[in-house]
């Protein structure tokens, strides 16, 4: 009996080793978020093995787990490029610009929608990329420009079809206390980050349904994690995240797969220029009521731009994790519904989703104070000592 058990155990061990080798081989070829998922599955398998009371059944269970992981990784294999056509919005700078170059290098036919086809970003794409890349004038808040871009895409792809749409174009708006942000900025964020993405999606969906392709929406961690100063931006990204989730369910019957990317802090040009900030600050001061201006104080309002410089200090300048996840979303046989590139992004989203609100608020306040030094800046009405208020 012991001999039979020994032979069976050795056989299970050999099968486990073989399957483990296959898993490692496939794991090394997987980009982006897949690696994190595999580590979680491997941890589960290891835990199940350690908790097993029997070596024999432990090996059986571990072998089965390795097989399931192997099947899972097989579903994450990337489809051949074959010059698949991809439309990317917001290609002037930042993630959209880098993504256009990256997908062009991989052999995709890229349509880079830009806000200004004569700008430096558009010119750089024309100069550095292959002839497969086309620059399209595409202000996503302008329905006519979207229609014109659609016509040019159809004319070029013809029977090959459009494989993927990446809604990347977005603006940060004015980071400030929600009460201070003018309604114009709330509407502007929604117009670009949400309504623009929806309109592009609706325009190009007939092509995606025909190719059974991919819709990828670039949202943000701020769309799932409440972040101070980002009421306008976070609300628009939360709307985009929910839109993506609904479309994922509705488009599944057409064979179209929908993914949403929720990046953490990456350093891009989304913060805008100094001239833009001067205009936004003037816009705030011009539209505040006397009571609100008195309570907050002009000094506090003008300090809001420090938020951007401080957050940029902790932002990651390397956007490669985002590019890898987008590539996986448009190329994998079975892409994920959600991607969370960036250090700690996934943990923060889980923390906010499952922890009591009071605990989330406490740790958020501690983190922001430690990193962004908010305790040194308070609205005028909160920073004036009580005895001074009585004296006035």
**Per-residue confidence band for 1, with pLDDT thresholds at 50, 70 and 90:** very low
Higher pLDDT, 269 or 285: 285
Q: Is a pLDDT exceeding 60 seen at residue 224?
A: yes
Model pLDDT, residue 20: 58
- pLDDT given for residue 143 in this prediction: 97
pLDDT score recorded for residue 87: 98
Give residue 385's region: left, alpha or beta (phi > 0; psi -120 to 50). beta
In sequence order, what DSSP letters do the residues of 92-152 get, joined into one string?
TSHHHHHHHHHHHHHT-EEEEEES-TTSHHHHHHHHHS-TT-EEEE--TT-HHHHHHHHHH
DSSP 342: S
Taking the model in full, what pTM does it have?
Answer: 0.80
Mean pLDDT computed over 212-237: 94
Cβ neighbours of residue 209 closer than 8 Å, sequence gap 6 or more: 251, 254, 255, 256
Alpha carbon distance 288, 293 (integer Å): 6
**Neighbouring residues of 313: CB distance < 8 A, sequence distance ≥ 6:** none
Give catalytic residues, as residue numbers.
Answer: 233
Q: What is the pLDDT of residues 272-312, one digit of tens each?
A: 666 777 777 787 888 888 898 888 888 888 777 777 666 66
Report the pLDDT averaged over residues 164-183: 91
Q: Which pLDDT value is given to residue 84?
A: 95
Q: How confident is the model at residue 375 (pLDDT cuts 50, 70, 90)?
A: very low
């Amino acid at each position: 009996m012991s001999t039979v058990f020994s032979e069976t155990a050795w056989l299970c061990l050999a099968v486990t080793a073989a399957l483990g080798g296959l898993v490692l081989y496939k794991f090394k070829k997987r980009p982006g978020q897949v690696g994190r998922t595999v580590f979680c599955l491997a941890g589960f398998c290891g835990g199940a093995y350690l908790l097993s009371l029997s070596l024999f059944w432990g090996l059986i269970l571990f072998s089965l787990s390795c097989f399931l992981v192997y099947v899972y990784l097989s579903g994450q294999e990337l489809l051949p490029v074959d010059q698949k056509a991809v439309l990317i919005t917001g290609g002037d700078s930042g993630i959209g610009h880098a993504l256009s170059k990256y997908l062009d290098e991989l052999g995709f036919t890229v349509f880079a929608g830009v806000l200004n086809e004569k700008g430096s970003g558009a010119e750089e794409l024309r100069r550095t990329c292959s002839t497969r890349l086309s620059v399209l004038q595409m202000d996503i808040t302008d329905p006519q420009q979207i229609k014109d871009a659609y016509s040019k895409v159809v004319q070029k792809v013809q029977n090959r079809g459009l494989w993927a749409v990446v809604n990347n174009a977005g603006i940060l708006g004015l980071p400030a206390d929600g009460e201070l942000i003018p309604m114009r900025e709330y509407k502007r964020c929604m117009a670009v980050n949400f309504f623009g993405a929806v309109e592009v999606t609706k325009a190009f969906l007939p092509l995606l349904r025909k190719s059974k392709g991919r819709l990828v929406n670039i949202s943000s961690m701020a769309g799932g994690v409440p972040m101070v100063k980002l009421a306008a931006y976070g609300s628009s990204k939360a709307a985009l995240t929910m839109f993506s989730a609904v479309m994922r369910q509705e488009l599944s019957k057409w064979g179209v797969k929908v993914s949403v990317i929720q990046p953490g802090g990456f350093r891009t040009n989304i913060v805008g220029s100094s001239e833009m900030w001067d205009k936004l600050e003037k816009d705030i001061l011009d539209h505040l009521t006397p009571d609100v201006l008195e309570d907050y104080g002009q000094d506090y309002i003008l300090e809001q731009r420090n938020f951007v410089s401080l957050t940029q200090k902790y932002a990651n300048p390397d956007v490669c994790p985002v590019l890898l996840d987008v590539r996986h979303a448009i190329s994998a046989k079975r892409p994920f519904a959600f991607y969370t590139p960036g250090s700690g992004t996934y943990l923060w989203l889980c923390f906010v989703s499952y922890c009591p609100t009071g605990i989330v608020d406490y740790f958020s306040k501690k983190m922001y104070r430690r990193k962004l030094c908010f305790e040194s800046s308070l609205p005028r009405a909160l920073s004036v000592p009580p005895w001074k208020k009585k004296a006035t």
